[in-house]
Chain A
Amino acid sequence: MLATIVPTSTWYLILGAVLFGIGMVGVLVRRNPLIMFMSIELMLNAVNLTFVALSTQLTDINGQTAVFFVLVVAAAEVVVGLGIIVAIMRRRSDISVDDLSALKG
Chain B
Amino acid sequence: MELFVFICAAAMVLAGALGVVLRSNPVHAALSLVLTLFGIAVMFVSQQAEFLAAVQVVVYAGAIVVLFLFVIMLLGVDRAENLETESLGVQRPLAIILSLGFVALLVTTIVQGRDSLNMRGDGLITADSGDHDANIRQIARSIFSNYVVAFEVTSVLLIVAVVGTVVLARKRKSEKDLTGVSA
B is bound to A? yes
B 102-159 contacts with A by CB, 8 A: 102-103, 106-107, 110-111, 114, 117, 119-124, 135, 138-139, 142-143, 146-147, 150, 154, 157-158
Give the chain A neighbours of B20 by CB distance below 8 A.
Answer: 22, 26, 35, 38-39, 42
A66 to chain B, nearest CB (A): 9
Of A37, A64, A71, A77, the residue contacting B68 (CB under 8 A) is: A37
Indicate if the CB atoms of B114 and A35 lie closer than 8 Å. no
Give the chain A neighbours of B114 by CB distance below 8 A.
Answer: 8, 10
B 30-88 contacts with A by CB, 8 A: 30, 33, 36-37, 40, 43-44, 47-49, 51-52, 55-56, 59-60, 63-64, 67-68, 71-72, 74-75, 77, 81, 86-88
Indicate if the CB atoms of A52 and B49 lie closer than 8 Å. yes
Instruction: Please name the 8 residue pairs, one residue from A and one from B, whose CB atoms are nearest each other, closest first.
Output: A60-B121, A28-B95, A21-B103, A83-B165, A17-B106, A76-B161, A83-B168, A26-B21
Give the chain B neighbours of A79 by CB distance below 8 A.
Answer: 67, 161-162, 165
Give the chain B neighbours of A83 by CB distance below 8 A.
Answer: 164-166, 168-169
Q: List residues of chain B with CB under 8 Å of any chain A CB.
A: 1-3, 6, 10, 13-14, 17-18, 20-21, 26, 29-30, 33, 36-37, 40, 43-44, 47-49, 51-52, 55-56, 59-60, 63-64, 67-68, 71-72, 74-75, 77, 81, 86-88, 91-92, 95-96, 98-100, 102-103, 106-107, 110-111, 114, 117, 119-124, 135, 138-139, 142-143, 146-147, 150, 154, 157-158, 160-162, 164-166, 168-169, 171-172
Complex Cα distance A34/B169, Å? 16
Indicate if the CB atoms of A38 and B99 lie closer than 8 Å. no
Give the chain B neighbours of A104 by CB distance below 8 A.
Answer: none
A 1-60 contacts with B by CB, 8 A: 2-3, 5-15, 17-26, 28-32, 34-35, 37-39, 41-42, 45, 48-49, 52-60
Q: List residues of chain A with CB under 8 Å of any chain B CB.
A: 2-3, 5-15, 17-26, 28-32, 34-35, 37-39, 41-42, 45, 48-49, 52-62, 64-65, 67-69, 71-80, 82-87, 89-90, 95, 98
